[in-house]
């Protein structure tokens, strides 16, 4: 990415933060909190997710067979099925069916994907969106910014101004009730006058041809019942084997998307429907009151067309890394739980059609990698979406793989090599900024070897200016300060202090790059804390886990790093020692990503014997270790922020339990992410977004209850961000336990 490209992207993000950020943040926050509350009421939440995923896995595996089955079923019922190769093919078919008539539509992302409105209007048809938010966007001539709530970026005041300007009502519209009533009456007339109703489909049951539509408004039912031609447009991945398979999805989709236990309308259509269609009588006011409607046709005369769209999906099905995208039920949980999306919305975090975390897979599959490349880097791999997805899609991995493919598709912009920054495993076209951050371990070794001179040079104005111009390292962000003595070197000189014959446990403390070269004090504290609990500690020389290159989409380098780390730690594991990890994102590599980077046996051996340091301390205390060997809190007031990966792994409670057991008074943050996300907060194009996300956390830690508390965070990125945005220097929790 050139310096000009970075500036343009930064300006775009700043604009959206200023114009849409507040509305997006408020609305996604409500959805997100609602999901946590609603899913907490389910006794079998994880089981439901497992069931839903199994159904989707089965359906995608059997997709050709199910396509044939649903075609037979619908045609036996008197309807028509057309399987479209791509958007142009689908639009041609739909345009022929509509034949220039008036169409009323319910919300459908698939119809957005193929731009069916434009295609129909070019052929002389009139098209009305009847979903309230879609209608707002149609009037405003804007694209959706959210999969479920397409006008989430607009405030009530903005919508009122829009309607008042465009429609010039007798009395200005102001309240939400007035706006809704106006839209209902205006669109009610359009529905009654329309000849064709178009819907999407959340699911299509192959055994009966039943369409399931899950909506928050009654417009979809009206679009079907008020017209004598129903066209349903859906991706082929929406097919499930049977009507019975709908149950877990009905339970999950509303809770996952908007936090509702069940959405307002769950409509099941088994077309062609046998209920009558209705329209206005001569001279009626179009509002459809019971004494002003007449039966137009019997249900037997209704026309039904199911248009199932491939548009790249069958190729995604054959792609081992994109295949999981087809399990998506378009609930938007990944968007609502993403800190970056919460602040900037889908007009930045989205492509031609789709937005949010899963959008990378969809855009790469149906529109191509260029569309995905526009926003892919906004996914930081924090993994907060992983536990929120109702079908357990590994969204960060899909985003990483697509990023890797985008990297490989670019032409090289540098004709020189930098030692340690260009491993042979990666293609020469990887953006130099990504190479820089993806090889942090090599930089840290150099920085440590030449400290403190390297720190002085890096802080100088000329160096900061050059780094911003050439590789986009924002000059406003403080750079890491390298220690001359690494943690590994310190421990080699010091040696272990617990007799192996008297040790309660024996561990290898993994020296992640940041702990080893920058924040060595937390590594030393971890050694002393573990030793005080009777653990014999060793600190082997092991390189960077692969998290840094993986975050840049450099999968080959990440795999190489993972293999080297396993080689360094495997002797300890083979000897029965546990591996203790300080940085949660590295533990997440061991427990999650290494499954894709290492042979199965190696992954199992390392993942099953690795622990986060506070998790390990908790286990030692539960096993009878002397808690009095640790520093006592004596009521010290703590404001604690858990790392994203730590929360995803379910480890935050261990830290809280240990701190509270030692007498600390702890309050915790409830924001999704600190906004730093490793290298993300250093990049000039994303600096403003990173800080905007971080300010949400700062707001929590500067309230009356938390303003005077000691700030504590588990992750490197969190510590860096809080250090930059607060006047209080934060600490890792293990340092609070260190009696030294």
Q: What is the dihedral of CA 630, 634, 637, 642, to 10 degrees?
A: 20
Nearest to 109 by CA among 335, 389, 270, 317: 335
pLDDT at 428: 54
Q: Does residue 410 surpass a pLDDT of 60?
A: no
- Angle in degrees, 0-180, between the axes of helices 359-366 and 395-409, rounded to the nearest 10: 50
Q: Judging by beta carbons within 10 Å of its beta carbon (0-12, 13-18, 19+), is residue 122 exposed, middle or buried? A: exposed
pLDDT at 156: 93
Work out the pLDDT band at 2, boundaries 50, 70, 90.
Answer: confident
Work out the pLDDT band at 282, boundaries 50, 70, 90.
Answer: very low
Sole residue written with tokens 């951050």: 437
Q: In angstroms, rounded to a whole number, what is the distance separating the alpha carbons of residues 422 and 420?
A: 6
Quick check: 341 and 153 in contact, CB under 8 A? no
Number of H helices, E strands in the chain: 36, 19
* Omega within 30 of 0 (cis) for the link into 272: yes
Angle at 84 between CA 79 and CA 89, to 5 degrees: 115
The more confident residue out of 427 and 659 is 659
Query: Six-digit token pair at 406?
Result: 């985008």
Q: In angstroms, rounded to a whole number, what is the distance separating the alpha carbons of residues 654 and 616?
A: 9
The per-residue pLDDT of the chain, averaged, comes to 91
Q: DSSP letter at 589?
A: I
Q: In angstroms, rounded to a whole number, what is the distance separating the alpha carbons of residues 419 and 411?
A: 20
Q: What are phi and psi of 499, to 5 degrees?
A: -60, 130
Q: Does residue 24 surpass a pLDDT of 50?
A: yes
Cross-sheet strand order for the sheet of 610-612: 535-538, 505-510, 578-581, 610-612
Quick check: 195 and 128 in contact, CB under 8 A? no
- Angle in degrees, 0-180, between the axes of helices 132-140 and 156-167, rounded to the nearest 10: 60
Q: In angstroms, rounded to a whole number, what is the distance separating the alpha carbons of residues 10 and 689?
A: 9
Quick check: 288 and 305 in contact, CB under 8 A? no
pTM for this entry:
0.91
Q: DSSP letter at 355?
A: B
Q: In angstroms, rounded to a whole number, what is the distance separating the alpha carbons of residues 198 and 234?
A: 11
Beta-carbon contacts of residue 500 (< 8 Å; ≥ 6 apart): 506, 536
Q: Please, how many CA atoms are within 13 Å of residue 539, restricted to the half-sphere of its CB?
A: 27
pLDDT in tens, 287-335: 333 333 323 344 457 899 999 999 999 999 999 999 999 999 999 999 9
Residue ranges of domains in the chain, CATH in brackets: 3-309 (3.40.50.10420), 487-737 (no CATH)
Nearest to 509 by CA among 610, 425, 422: 610
Instruction: List, as one string, the DSSP characters of 358-401.
Output: THHHHHHHHT-HHHHHTTGGG-----TTTTT-TT---HHHHHHH
pLDDT at 289: 35
Q: How many CB atoms lie within 10 A of CB 294?
A: 11
Q: DSSP letter at 478?
A: P
Q: DSSP letter at 98?
A: H
Q: What are phi and psi of 290, to 5 degrees?
A: -60, -30
Q: Does residue 278 surpass a pLDDT of 70?
A: no
Q: In angstroms, rounded to a whole number, what is the distance separating the alpha carbons of residues 489 and 474?
A: 31
Query: Six-digit token pair at 153?
Result: 């970026």
Q: In Å, how far from its chain's centre is CA 128?
A: 31
pLDDT in tens, 26-52: 999 999 999 999 999 888 999 999 999
pLDDT in tens, 415-442: 333 334 444 445 556 788 999 999 999 9
Q: Does residue 577 surpass a pLDDT of 80?
A: yes
The SS3 call for residue 242 is coil
Helix H or strand E segment including 255? helix 246-258
Q: Judging by beta carbons within 10 Å of its beta carbon (0-12, 13-18, 19+), is residue 318 exposed, middle or buried? A: exposed
Beta-carbon contacts of residue 647 (< 8 Å; ≥ 6 apart): 384
The size of the chain, in residues, is 740
Q: In angstroms, rounded to a whole number, what is the distance separating the alpha carbons of residues 685 and 687?
A: 6
Work out the widest C-alpha separation in the chain, in whole angstroms.
97
Quick check: 216 and 303 in contact, CB under 8 A? no
Helix ranges (H only) for 62-115 are 63-76, 87-98, 109-114
pLDDT at 662: 96
Within 453-542, strands assigned E span 505-510, 535-538
Q: How many CB atoms lie within 10 A of CB 650?
A: 10
- Angle in degrees, 0-180, between the axes of helices 45-61 and 63-76, rounded to the nearest 10: 80
Q: In angstroms, rounded to a whole number, what is the distance separating the alpha carbons of residues 280 and 283?
A: 8
Mean pLDDT of 225-244: 96
Q: How many CB atoms lie within 10 A of CB 291?
A: 6
Mean pLDDT of 638-656: 95
Q: In angstroms, rounded to a whole number, what is the distance separating the alpha carbons of residues 12 and 264?
A: 36
Q: In angstroms, rounded to a whole number, what is the distance separating the alpha carbons of residues 368 and 436?
A: 27
Q: In angstroms, rounded to a whole number, what is the distance separating the alpha carbons of residues 714 and 737?
A: 13
Q: Does residue 286 surpass a pLDDT of 90?
A: no
Q: Does residue 284 surpass a pLDDT of 90?
A: no
Q: Please, how many CA atoms are within 13 Å of residue 549, restricted to the half-sphere of its CB?
A: 27
pLDDT at 418: 34
């Amino acid at each position: 990415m050139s310096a000009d490209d970075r500036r343009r992207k930064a300006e775009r993000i700043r604009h959206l933060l200023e114009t849409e950020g507040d509305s997006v943040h408020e609305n996604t926050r409500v959805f997100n909190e609602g999901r946590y509350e609603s899913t907490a009421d389910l006794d079998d939440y994880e089981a439901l997710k497992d069931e839903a995923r199994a159904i989707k896995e089965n359906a995608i595996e059997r997709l050709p067979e199910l396509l044939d089955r649903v075609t037979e079923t619908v045609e036996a019922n008197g309807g028509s099925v057309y399987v479209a190769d791509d958007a142009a093919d689908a639009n041609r078919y739909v345009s022929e069916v509509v034949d220039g008539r008036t169409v009323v539509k319910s919300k459908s992302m698939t119809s957005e994907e193929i731009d069916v409105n434009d295609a129909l209007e070019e052929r002389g048809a009139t098209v009305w969106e009847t979903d309230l938010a879609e209608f707002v966007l149609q009037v405003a001539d804007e694209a959706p910014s959210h999969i479920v709530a397409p006008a989430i970026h607009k405030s009530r005041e903005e919508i009122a101004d829009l309607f008042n300007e465009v429609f010039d009502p007798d009395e200005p519209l102001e309240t939400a009730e007035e706006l809704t009533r106006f839209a209902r009456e205006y669109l009610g007339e359009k529905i009654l006058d329309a000849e064709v109703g178009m819907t999407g489909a959340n699911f299509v049951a192959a055994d009966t041809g039943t369409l399931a539509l899950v909506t928050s408004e009654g417009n979809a039912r009206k679009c079907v019942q008020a017209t004598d031609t129903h066209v349903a447009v859906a991706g082929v991945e929406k097919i499930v084997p049977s009507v019975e398979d709908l149950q877990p999805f009905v339970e999950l989709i509303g809770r996952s998307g908007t936090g509702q236990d069940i959405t307002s309308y769950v409509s099941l259509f088994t077309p062609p429907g046998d209920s009558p269609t209705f329209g206005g009588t001569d001279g009626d006011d179009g509002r459809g009151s019971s004494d002003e409607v007449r039966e137009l046709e019997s249900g037997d005369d209704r026309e039904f067309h199911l248009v199932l769209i491939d548009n790249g999906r069958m190729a995604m099905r054959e792609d081992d890394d994109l295949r999981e995208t087809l399990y998506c039920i378009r609930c938007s949980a990944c968007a609502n739980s993403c800190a970056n999306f919460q602040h900037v919305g889908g007009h930045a975090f989205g492509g031609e059609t789709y937005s949010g975390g899963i959008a990378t897979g969809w855009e790469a599959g149906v529109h191509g990698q260029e569309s995905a490349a526009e926003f892919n880097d906004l996914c930081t791999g924090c993994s907060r979406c992983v536990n929120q997805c109702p079908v357990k899609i590994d969204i960060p991995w899909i985003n990483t793989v697509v990023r890797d493919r985008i990297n490989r598709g670019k032409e090289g912009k540098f004709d020189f090599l930098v030692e340690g920054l260009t491993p042979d495993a990666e293609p020469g076209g990887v953006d130099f900024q990504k190479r820089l951050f993806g090889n942090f371990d090599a930089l840290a070794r150099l920085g440590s070897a030449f400290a403190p001179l390297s720190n002085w040079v890096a802080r100088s104005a000329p160096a900061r200016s050059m780094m911003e111009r050439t590789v986009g390292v924002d000059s406003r962000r403080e750079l890491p300060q390298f220690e001359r003595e690494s943690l590994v070197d310190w421990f080699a000189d010091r040696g272990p202090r617990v007799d192996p014959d008297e040790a309660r446990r024996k561990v290898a403390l993994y020296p992640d790059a940041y702990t080893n070269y920058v924040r060595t004090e937390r590594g030393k504290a971890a050694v002393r804390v573990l030793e005080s609990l009777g653990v014999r500690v060793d600190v082997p020389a092991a390189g960077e886990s692969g998290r840094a290159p993986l975050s840049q989409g450099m999968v080959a380098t990440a795999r190489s790093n993972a293999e080297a780390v396993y080689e360094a730690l495997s002797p300890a594991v083979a000897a029965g020692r546990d591996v203790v990890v300080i940085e949660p994102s590295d533990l997440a590599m061991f427990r999650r990503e290494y499954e894709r980077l290492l042979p199965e046996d190696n992954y199992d051996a390392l993942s099953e014997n690795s622990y986060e340091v506070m998790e390990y301390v908790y286990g030692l205390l539960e096993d009878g270790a002397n808690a009095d060997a640790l520093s006592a809190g004596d009521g010290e007031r703590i404001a604690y922020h858990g790392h994203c990966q730590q929360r995803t792994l379910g480890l935050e409670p261990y830290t809280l339990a240990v701190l509270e057991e030692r007498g600390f008074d702890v309050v915790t943050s409830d924001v999704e992410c600190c906004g730093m996300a490793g290298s993300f907060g250093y990049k000039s194009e994303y600096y403003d977004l990173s800080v905007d996300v971080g300010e949400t956390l700062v707001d929590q830690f500067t309230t009356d209850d938390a303003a005077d508390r000691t700030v504590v965070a588990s992750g490197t990125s969190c510590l860096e961000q809080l250090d930059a945005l607060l006047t209080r220097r934060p600490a890792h929790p293990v340092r609070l336990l260190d009696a030294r």
